[in-house]
Amino acid sequence: MENPIASKKRTRQIQESWNASTKKSFGQNFIVEAGVVDKIAKAAVLNPDGVVIEIGPGIGALTQFLCEYAKRVIAFEIDPRFPPILEKEIASDHLEIVQQDFLDVDVDALLEPFAKTNTPVYFASNLPYYITTPILFKLFEANEPIAAITVMMQKEVADRFMAKVGSKEYNALSVITQYRCHLKRIMDVNRNVFWPSPNVGSTVLQFTFRQDQPKINESQFVALVKACFVQRRKTLLNNLQTWLDGKEKALALLAQAGIEPATRAQQLEVRDFLRLYESYTKLNLDKEDEDEN
């Protein structure tokens, strides 16, 4: 691609001509290495006939390449300065720009028309680090199908998403995400490919939704997993007896699941948490049901 936006020279030209300096309040860091955004775009667009939804396009470094590989790109941008820049600097018939905070978007309503026509939908983003988890969990909770989510995020957060059982990074976020998704590390990204440079390294992860997990009440499962990790150094018995308001309930739950009371949450794999959840429902320990009764 000639004269890509993802270069220091072009980025500075756009910023100067449009008076579009980065805003710390929006966590803006622009990618200035074309090879990086090209690789992200190629990974994100698994089918050129699908629709790509980009969250936070900024001045269009990634958007420009997404429009090369996909027939339709819908970009949601919160900063009102950037839609005119995208329209002028990219000028692609493939691009539709929506000036809106994506956290306010009804995701199922957005996805429904594509689901009706069996059109695959891919999400792609160089997300501001402070909204990575809220955005991802908003997408995870969608009822309509999403083919894949490809996201640049802080490396430390990516490591937690992908953490293996027993590691220091393994936590409730790891379990909940790995229950829902297959994860693939696309690439690690040096902080020097951004302008301005962030203080930390970044990683691009791709999430594809699992089809092999049992259908469960996810809000209950999430609450149970979080309760198990609430104090990492404590045993499951200690954490669960606090959450269930009783030692006997916690002991009964662990016995039903075949898990030793002295076990810690970071020692359990996803399948172990699913077994614990199954026992939780069998014993009718749902706290909401108890409150209703």
Tell me, what's the pLDDT at 27? Answer: 66
Asked if pLDDT for residue 83 goes beyond 60, the answer is: yes
CB-based contacts of 6: which residues, under 8 Å, 6+ apart? 30, 31, 32, 33, 34, 36, 37, 61, 62, 64, 65
Tell me, what's the pLDDT at 287? Answer: 56
Tell me, what's the pLDDT at 290? Answer: 45
- Measured CA to CA, the distance from residue 235 to residue 227 in angstroms comes to 11
Other CB atoms within 10 Å distance of the CB of residue 272: 18
Exposure on the CB side of residue 243, measured as CA atoms within 13 A: 25
Mean pLDDT of 73-91: 96
pLDDT in tens, 126-170: 988 889 999 999 999 999 999 999 999 999 999 999 999 999 999
- Measured CA to CA, the distance from residue 272 to residue 254 in angstroms comes to 11
Q: Are the C-beta atoms of residues 220 and 286 closer than 8 Å to each other?
A: yes
Q: Are the C-beta atoms of residues 56 and 125 closer than 8 Å to each other?
A: yes
Rounded (to 5) percent helix, strand, coil in the chain = 50, 20, 35
Mean pLDDT of 73-86: 96
Mean pLDDT of 260-271: 98
Mean pLDDT of 257-264: 98
Asked if pLDDT for residue 291 goes beyond 70, the answer is: no
Q: Are the C-beta atoms of residues 148 and 123 closer than 8 Å to each other?
A: yes
pLDDT band of residue 293 (cuts 50, 70, 90) is: very low
Mean pLDDT of 121-126: 97
CB-based contacts of 195: which residues, under 8 Å, 6+ apart? 8, 11, 12, 22, 29, 30, 31, 32
Exposure on the CB side of residue 34, measured as CA atoms within 13 A: 12
The answer to whether the bond into 196 is cis (omega within 30° of 0) is yes
Q: Which domains does the chain have, with CATH numbers?
A: 8-209 (3.40.50.150), 218-292 (1.10.8.100)
Tell me, what's the pLDDT at 212? Answer: 87
**SS3 at position 97:** strand
Percent of the chain with pLDDT over 70: 96
As beta bridge partners, residue 51 has: 72, 121
Least confident of 43-52, 125-134, 243-252, 284-293: 284-293
Structure tokens at 249: 């309930």
Question: What single letter denotes the amino acid at residue 62?
Answer: L
Asked if pLDDT for residue 24 goes beyond 80, the answer is: no
